[in-house]
Amino acid sequence: MSAVLDRPAVATGRSTRPSRTGYAVILLLSSAALLVSIAAAVSFGSVRIPIGDVWAIVAHRLAPGTFESWWTEARAAIVIDSRLPRSLTAAVVGASLALAGGVAQAVTRNPLADPYLLGVSSGAGFGVVMVMTLGIGAGALGAFTVPAAAFVGALIPLFLALAIGGRYPQSTAIVLVGVAVGSVFTALITLTLLVFADERSLSGVLHWLAGGFGDARWSTLVFPVLALVGVGMLVSITAPRMDLLKTGDDGAAVLGMNVRRFRMMQLMAISLLAGAAVSVSGGIGFVGLLVPHLAGYVVGTRAVRLLPLAALFGAIALVGADTLARSITQSTEVPVGVITALVGAPIFVFMLYRRYAREI
């Protein structure tokens, strides 16, 4: 998983991993930080709404009549219909990408693996290009048209990578096929935009590819939530077996694991999870790559502990990135993918430096 970047134990032999109580406290504090970050994100904007009012509006909507309202209907609409679904979508996508990244790094034993390992992002982008540029299926599903096209597009490279690379016992075969297929879809996106796109469709596609949550609605939040819950349940059941892969494929097989079947199942699950996230957010990098390493610094590399914390960290990170993206300038909204790249790349390079500087 994140073993390459994992912090070693101190010289006295005392483990840096927290106890069970300490781990529970970390999860509790992280959950509280996530709630505060969502409330702050909903509060912030062109119309500033006090955080206390945000909590009151949400509580009033969940339990009407519990107390008398003092806010205007306009503010309630801003919170409930616009900012809250956007912030929750950012949290769900961040958790999904971080969880998928942690699982990908575990099952491939590659610390540089991320959720887009099998060309999911490129396939999703191609699906969006088909709708926005060529008009294939445009408007067929209403507000769900673009997310559905992105999800179907994400499944195509996944299927090809598993069908071709899955025939070989080495996990690197699936990864390499995924990279190749992803490159083909990236080339198809570029070719389609150059040949068929007009100014309007080109702007829309490029904005989607850069990643963001400007189109987030309650209706588009349903599918990523279902994917996160479903894969989360799978991960909670199979996480202890992921640690067996640290002994190598042969070692895991001796311990009774069908390594090939287990890896295929996990790769399919994380690709579906990433596809569902990408379908509503566009391409957002570095969350799935970086966040599992950060979680590994805190609780170690055991999948049972790392993956839940990575999901919480990912949610917090992407809510913060989205808030920053819409607050840098008043005239336009910066794509969230730009923020995650500008912030994540230097952090990741610094982590690599800290890890390998000790070995020089």
pLDDT digits (tens, 9 = 90+) for 56-101: 888 888 887 776 778 788 888 889 988 999 999 999 999 999 999 9
Confidence of residue 350 (pLDDT cuts 50, 70, 90): confident
pLDDT digits (tens, 9 = 90+) for 177-187: 888 998 999 99
pTM score, whole prediction: 0.85
- Residue 325 and residue 216 in contact, taking contact as beta carbons nearer than 8 Å: no
pLDDT digits (tens, 9 = 90+) for 89-133: 999 999 999 999 999 888 888 787 788 877 888 888 888 888 888
- Residue 86 and residue 218 in contact, taking contact as beta carbons nearer than 8 Å: no
Q: Which domains are assigned to the chain? A: 3-357 (1.10.3470.10)
Confidence of residue 1 (pLDDT cuts 50, 70, 90): very low
pLDDT digits (tens, 9 = 90+) for 228-280: 999 999 988 999 889 888 887 788 888 888 888 888 888 888 888 888 888 88
What is the overall mean pLDDT for the chain?
Answer: 83
As a whole-number percent, the residues of the chain with pLDDT over 90 amount to 25
For 336-346, what is the mean pLDDT?
A: 88
